[in-house]
Structure 1
Amino acid sequence: MKKQELLKIMDGELMEKLFSFCYARTSDSQEARELCSDIVFELMKAANTEGDIGNLYGFLWKVARNTYADFSDKKSRNSDRTYHGDPEELFSVLANPDGGDDSRELLDAVYRQIAFLTRAYREVMILFYLDGLPVAEIAGRQNTSEGAIRERLSSARKRIRSEVEKMAESSQRPVVLDQIDYWIMGNGNPLWGDPRKLCTRQLPKHLVWLCRKKSVSAAEAAEELHVPTVYVEEELEILRRGENGQYGLLRWLDSGNKAATGKGAGGTRAPGRYAINFLLFDTKEMEQLRAAYREQIPAFCRVVRDYVETHKEEYMAFPYLNRRKDWNLILWQQMHAIFHVFEDCVEGILAGKYFAGVDTGEDDRRPFSVFGHVREGENFGGGLDGMSGENICGCARVTVFNITNRWVQPHLWAGHDMANDAALQLAIRAVEGLGVEELSETGKEHAARAIECGYLYREGDRLYTKILVCGAGDEDRLFDIANGLAHGYLEESAQNVAEKVAGCIRRFVPEHLLGEWKYANWLAAQPVLDALLDNLVAAKVLLPPENGVGAEGCWMNVEK
C-alpha cells in the first residue's frame, strides 16, 4: 500500500492496539496517552511522504518502537531536572514550610493515605487540597456533578480520618512481598499475544493470586498487599489488557460475579472488580488432580506392555525407508502418542459425560491460551519438537521430529537451521546408503559426528540412516496402531480418572473458567508419560540411549 493511505487504516481497533503497546511500556495512563499521541503524529507525518509499504504491521510497529525509544530518551533527559526525593516529604514542606515535626508527620500520614484511595477519590482529593481547585471546576474536569464531587471528598476524608492513626505505624513498614512463582504453559500461537510476559515481577504475581478464588477491587488489593492503590490500579489494568489488549491474565467481573461482556480485554470502562482469567492451581490442588491419574498408572502400564508386544509384527511391518528397522527405536517413537491416547480418552469422557453443557467458545476462538500452577520442585513430562525444510539434499521437503524427556536428550529444537546442519544432511543423504569414499575429509568428520549422535550407522564401506525415516504419504498413519488403544483397552481406567478429575475441576475452577476444563486435564496427566517410560525401561521393554543421546526418539519424514 501507499504511505498516503495510512490515514485510512487508523481506526479504533488500531488505536486500541497502539494504546496497549504504550500502556505496557509506561508508568501510567497519562504517559501512555502521550506516547500514543507521539506515535500517531509520526504515522501522520509518514502519510505525507512518498513511497510504498510492503508489510503494513511491520511498518506500524517499527514506527511505534522507534518513537518509544525517542520517548524514553527524552524522559531520561528530563529526569535530570526532576526532583528525585520522597514526594511526600516534598509535599509536607510545601504545605507547611514552617511547621514542626508533628505536623510534618501528620501530613506524611495523610499523603500516604491519599495514595491508597482509588483513582476517582484520589484525583478529587489532589485537585481540591493540593491543586486548590474549586468544586465546580473539578466537576467540570471529571464530567460529573458538583454533588458527586462533594460526596467523593466527604467519603475520602472519612477514609483518611479513620486510617491515619493506623498509618502512623504502617507507613514505617516496608512493602516486602513473599516470593511466589508459577509454572504457566501455553497452547496455540503465542505471537498473537502472550500475557505471561507481563507477570514476571512479584507485584503482578501477587495480584493474580489475590484474584484466583474471588474477584477483588483495586482498593481491596491495595489494602491486602499494603501497596498504594495508584500502583495497584495501573498493574491490574496491565494484567487485564495483556500484551495485545485482548487477552490478559485477569478479566473484569460484573456485580453479579459473572464475566463482564462488551469490549472484553480492550474495553475502556472497568466494572471495578478483577478476577483471574486463566486456570491456576495451588500445590494441594495439583496433588489431587494428579492423584486421579497416578492411581491408574500401574494398570495403564500393564495394558501398554501387553499391547505393544501383541502388535509388534504390525509395528515392524510399517513401511519405514530404513535399511534396518529397529524395534527399540519404533517404541521410543510411539511413546508420546500412546500417552496422549490415554489423556484423550479421559478428555472424551469429560467432554461427553461431565462438561457437555459447558460453553468452550471463548477458548476455542482464542489463538492462544495459558494455564498453570504454583511452581514446586517436581517437573514432569517432556517435549516433542518438529521442524521442516524444503529443497534439502535432493528432497522436496524434509520434516524432522525429536522428543525430549528424562531418558532422551533432544538433537534439535524448533527453529533449528537444517540447511546448515551437516550431520543431519548426511542422515538425509544416507537413507538408501552413502559410500564412505564419496565423502571429502571434512565430510568424513561430519559423518563421524553423525554416527556418534545416532543419526547414522556404518555397514562395511557404506553409511546408512539410523533414525527412523518415513516416506511421503505414510506419515499420516504413523500412529494408527497406537491410536487403537482407544478402542476398549483403556476404558475402565479412563472412566475412573475422568470421574475424579471432573470432581476436582468442579471444586477448584471458578465458574467463569469452566470452559477451559481441558487444560486442567492436561495438567493432571503430567506424571503419566514419565511413569510410563520409567516402567518400560525398568522392564527392559525400552532401552534408553547411553548418556541420553542417540537415535531414540528422533525420526524424519521425507518427500522426494
Structure 2
Amino acid sequence: MERIENQMEFLLSAALCRCGNIADAEDLTQETLLSALLLQERGGRIDNLRGWMLTVMERRYYDMLRRRYRQPVVSIEETFETGGAADCPEDWLETETAAEEAVRVRREVAFLAQMYREVIVRRYMDGQSIAEIAEALDIPQGTVKSRLSFGRNRMRKGMDEMEHYDVRSYRPVRLFVSNSGHEGMAGEPASLVENDLIAQNLLYLAYERPLTETDLARAVGVPAAYVEPILKRLIDGGLMAGTGDKFYTDFIIYTREDRERFLPEQKEFIARWFGEIWKPYERFYRELRETEVYQRMTGVRRDALELFCFFNIFDDGIYKAFSDAFKTEQIFPDRPNGGRWIAIGHVDTGEIPAGAEAHKYSYAGRNNVWLDNYLDTKSIRMSLFYPEGFPMRMFMRGKDSIREDQLIKLLYIIESRSDVRQSGFEERYLRSIPWLVECNVLHYEDNKPKLSIPVFSGAEARAFDSLAGAASTELAKALRTPLKEYLRGKKKPVPAHLKSVPLQKQYLYSDNAMLMIALRMAMEKGLMRDDGYDNGMQPPWPMILVTEK
C-alpha cells in the first residue's frame, strides 16, 4: 500500500504532461492508483511498478480521449481472444498488455479511410483471400494488395505516433460559422456545424493545410467511420473542398483577437473623417423627411426607417468605396438548398461579452429575405440589419424566437389583416408576437399587434433605394482614397491553398466596426436619436418590409 501511494507525485507529473491541465491530470492519476490498489487487493504482483502504472495510465488516457467525443471503443470483432489464464493474478499484467495491443490494433483499423479499412477488415478479420476481395469489390487484385500495404503502413505509423494526438482530441475548439449573402432554406451554412463539435474541429484542423481523412480522424481521436459522413456533409454543403485524397476548409477563419486588433485605428479614422461622412447623410435625411411616404408614417416607423437608412447607406457606401479602391467585387456562388453565400468562421469567440469593447461596435450586415407569390402579392422583401453593438433583444433568440422565413409571413399577415388559417403560416409562431413587441418589431394598438417597421410598396421602395443609393455613392467617393490608405497592411493572410476567399473578407475586421463607431459618434453629437439604448431601452429595429402586388 505504502509503495503504491509513494508513486503519486511521479504519476501526477506524467499525467500533467499528457493532459496539459491539472484537473484532468488529477483524475487520470486517481484512476491509475485505483487500478493498482484493486490489483493489489486481488493478490496481484507487480514487479515493475512504474512501468505497469504508465501502461495503465496510457490506457485510461485513451479512454478519456474517447469520452471527450462520447464515442465508444470501435471493435472490428465481437470478441478478441488473448490466450493465457486471465484469472491468474500472476498473468494479469501480460493479459492486460495483450488486450491493450488488441484494442490499439482495432483502433488503428477504425482510423483508416474507408477504401483501406474495407480491405483490411476483409483480409485479416474475415479471412478472405486477395482474389475474393477483388471480386467482391470489383477491383484488380493489384489494387487490393496496394491498399493492404498502404493500410498496414498507416496502422503501423499510427501505433508509433499515438502519443502525439493533436490537442484538438482532448481540448476541442468551438467554431461559429456566419455568412454574407442568402443562407440556405435550412439555415446553411451555420446549420451545417451548429451543435456539432466534431464538425467544428474538423474544419478548424483542415484550415491551415489539407489533411487526409485518416489524419483528421486521428487528430480528433474519433474513428474514421464516424468522420466520413461528417466530411461528406461539409463538402456537399460547401464548407470544405478536396484535392486528391486530402480535404481542406474552404472559407476564412477569424479569432477574437482579429476582431479587436484594429479597433483603435478604426476609431481614429472615423473621428478624422466624420465631417465628410455626415455630409451625404445630412442631405439624405433632409430629402427623406420631405417625401410623402415619410410624412404619413407614424413616429415609431420613422425612427426605425431612419436607423435602417444609417445602416444601409454606410454599409453600401463602405462596400462601394472598397470595391472602387481595389477594383474587386464579391461573387456569391450558388449553394445547395437555395443558398447564395460566402462563409466566415469565428473560432473560440462565441458570444462576445456585452461589456467587451468589440461588442459595442459589432453588427451583422444587411440580410434580405424574399417570399414570392405569397397570398395576394407578387413578392415580399424583408431587409434588415442586426445592430448587435446595442444590448438589444433579438427576435431570433429566446424562448419564443422566430425564424426569418416565418417572420416575413407574420409581418405581412398582420399588415394586410389576412386570415392566418389560409396563409400557410406555422401558427405555433403566433406565440412569438409578445416577444416581437419586446423586440420593437411590433407594438400593440387597441390590443392588436401592429408593425413598428416601415412598409413600402414596390414603387415606393424603388424611389427610396434611388435616394439612398445616391447618398451611399457620395459617401463612397468621399472615403475611397482615405480608406485605401487606411487599409494598407491590414489584410488577414489566408493559407496558400485557399483560393476562394474574396478580398473583402480578408479585410473584414479591418473596417467592420466603422459603422457602429460612426453611429455612436452621430448619437453623441445629437445627429441621430438615442433614447438610452445602452441602458436597457430597446432601439427601433433597422428593418423594412416591401410588398410588390
TM-score, scaled to structure 1: 0.60
Q: Do residues 495 (structure 1) and 470 (structure 2) align?
A: no
Paired residue for 2:312? 337
Q: Summarize the alignment of residues 350-499 of structure 1 with structure 2, pairs less than 5 Å apart.
A: 352=327, 355=328, 360=331, 362=333, 367-375=339-347, 376=349, 377=352, 378-379=358-359, 380-381=362-363, 405=387, 406=390, 414-418=407-411, 421=414, 473-487=459-473, 489-491=475-477, 493-498=479-484
Residue 465 and residue 342 in structure 1: after superposition, are their counterparts in 2 closer, same or farther (change >3 A)? closer
Q: 1:539: how far off?
A: 1.1
Report if the CA contact (8 A) 1:192-1:368 is conserved: no
Residues in 2 aligned to 1:390 and 1:155: alpha-carbon distance in whole angstroms: 57
Runs of at least 5 residues in structure 2 that lack an aligned partner in the other structure: 1-70, 87-93, 353-357, 396-401, 418-433
Q: In terms of mean alpha carbon deviation, does 275-284 or 400-409 score higher?
A: 400-409
Question: Could you tell me the percent identity over the aligned residues?
Answer: 15
Report if the CA contact (8 A) 1:186-1:371 is conserved: yes
Paired residue for 1:301? 274
Q: 1:186: how far off?
A: 4.5
Report if the CA contact (8 A) 2:177-2:190 is conserved: no
Q: 1:209: how far off?
A: 0.8
Residues in 2 aligned to 1:210 and 1:190: alpha-carbon distance in whole angstroms: 25
The DSSP-based 3-state class of the residue aligned with 1:417 is: helix
* Matched length: 419
Q: Do residues 251 (structure 1) and 238 (structure 2) align?
A: no
Residue 322 and residue 296 in structure 1: after superposition, are their counterparts in 2 closer, same or farther (change >3 A)? same
Report if the CA contact (8 A) 1:408-1:544 is conserved: no
Paired residue for 1:202? 197
Report if the CA contact (8 A) 1:456-1:467 is conserved: no
Residues in 2 aligned to 1:399 and 1:233: alpha-carbon distance in whole angstroms: 39
Report if the CA contact (8 A) 2:82-2:98 is conserved: no
The DSSP-based 3-state class of the residue aligned with 1:508 is: coil
Residues in 2 aligned to 1:533 and 1:145: alpha-carbon distance in whole angstroms: 68
Q: Do residues 93 (structure 1) and 87 (structure 2) align?
A: no
The DSSP-based 3-state class of the residue aligned with 1:190 is: coil
Q: Do residues 314 (structure 1) and 287 (structure 2) align?
A: yes
- 1:84-137 CA-to-partner distances (Å, cap 9, x unmatched) read 985539655357587761433322222222222333332222111110111221
Q: 1:364: how far off?
A: 9.8
Q: 1:175: how far off?
A: 4.7
Residue 484 and residue 325 in structure 1: after superposition, are their counterparts in 2 closer, same or farther (change >3 A)? farther
One-letter amino acid matched to 2:463: R
Q: 1:467: how far off?
A: 6.9
Paired residue for 2:103? 108
Q: In terms of mean alpha carbon deviation, does 337-346 or 380-389 score higher?
A: 380-389
The DSSP-based 3-state class of the residue aligned with 2:292 is: coil
Residue 469 and residue 184 in structure 1: after superposition, are their counterparts in 2 closer, same or farther (change >3 A)? closer
Paired residue for 1:178? 172
Q: In terms of mean alpha carbon deviation, does 183-192 or 209-218 score higher?
A: 183-192
Q: Summarize the alignment of residues 269-308 of structure 1 with structure 2, pairs less than 5 Å apart.
A: 271-287=244-260, 293-308=266-281
Residues in 2 aligned to 1:298 and 1:518: alpha-carbon distance in whole angstroms: 23
Report if the CA contact (8 A) 1:363-1:515 is conserved: no
The DSSP-based 3-state class of the residue aligned with 1:478 is: helix
Report if the CA contact (8 A) 1:387-1:416 is conserved: no
Report if the CA contact (8 A) 2:325-2:480 is conserved: no
2:132 to 128, 137, 152: 137
1:216 to 204, 211, 216: 211
Report if the CA contact (8 A) 1:544-1:552 is conserved: no
Residues in 2 aligned to 1:519 and 1:89: alpha-carbon distance in whole angstroms: 45
Paired residue for 1:43? none
Report if the CA contact (8 A) 1:395-1:558 is conserved: yes
Paired residue for 2:59? none
Residue 346 and residue 456 in structure 1: after superposition, are their counterparts in 2 closer, same or farther (change >3 A)? same
Residues in 1 aligned to 2:382 and 2:187: alpha-carbon distance in whole angstroms: 27
Paired residue for 1:543? 529
Residues in 2 aligned to 1:238 and 1:110: alpha-carbon distance in whole angstroms: 28
Residue 484 and residue 296 in structure 1: after superposition, are their counterparts in 2 closer, same or farther (change >3 A)? farther
The DSSP-based 3-state class of the residue aligned with 1:103 is: helix
Residue 289 and residue 192 in structure 1: after superposition, are their counterparts in 2 closer, same or farther (change >3 A)? farther
Q: In terms of mean alpha carbon deviation, does 118-127 or 315-324 score higher?
A: 315-324
Residue 97 and residue 250 in structure 1: after superposition, are their counterparts in 2 closer, same or farther (change >3 A)? farther
Q: In terms of mean alpha carbon deviation, does 317-326 or 183-192 score higher?
A: 317-326
Report if the CA contact (8 A) 1:454-1:549 is conserved: no
Residues in 2 aligned to 1:159 and 1:402: alpha-carbon distance in whole angstroms: 52
- 1:333-383 CA-to-partner distances (Å, cap 9, x unmatched) read 42122212332223322551xx48xx9585699842242232522441156
Q: 1:151: how far off?
A: 3.8
Residue 87 and residue 374 in structure 1: after superposition, are their counterparts in 2 closer, same or farther (change >3 A)? closer
Residues in 2 aligned to 1:397 and 1:510: alpha-carbon distance in whole angstroms: 43
Report if the CA contact (8 A) 1:185-1:372 is conserved: yes
Paired residue for 1:67? none
Residue 191 and residue 106 in structure 1: after superposition, are their counterparts in 2 closer, same or farther (change >3 A)? same
One-letter amino acid matched to 2:172: D
The DSSP-based 3-state class of the residue aligned with 1:296 is: helix
Q: 1:205: how far off?
A: 0.8
One-letter amino acid matched to 1:374: H
Residue 283 and residue 132 in structure 1: after superposition, are their counterparts in 2 closer, same or farther (change >3 A)? same
One-letter amino acid matched to 1:298: A
Residue 103 and residue 89 in structure 1: after superposition, are their counterparts in 2 closer, same or farther (change >3 A)? farther
The DSSP-based 3-state class of the residue aligned with 2:530 is: coil
Residues in 1 aligned to 2:441 and 2:117: alpha-carbon distance in whole angstroms: 65
Residue 87 and residue 202 in structure 1: after superposition, are their counterparts in 2 closer, same or farther (change >3 A)? closer
TM-score, scaled to structure 2: 0.61
Residues in 2 aligned to 1:163 and 1:389: alpha-carbon distance in whole angstroms: 55
Q: In terms of mean alpha carbon deviation, does 137-146 or 505-514 score higher?
A: 505-514
Residues in 2 aligned to 1:341 and 1:123: alpha-carbon distance in whole angstroms: 54
Q: 1:207: how far off?
A: 0.8
Runs of at least 5 residues in structure 1 that lack an aligned partner in the other structure: 1-83, 243-247, 254-270, 427-445, 459-463
Residue 306 and residue 277 in structure 1: after superposition, are their counterparts in 2 closer, same or farther (change >3 A)? same
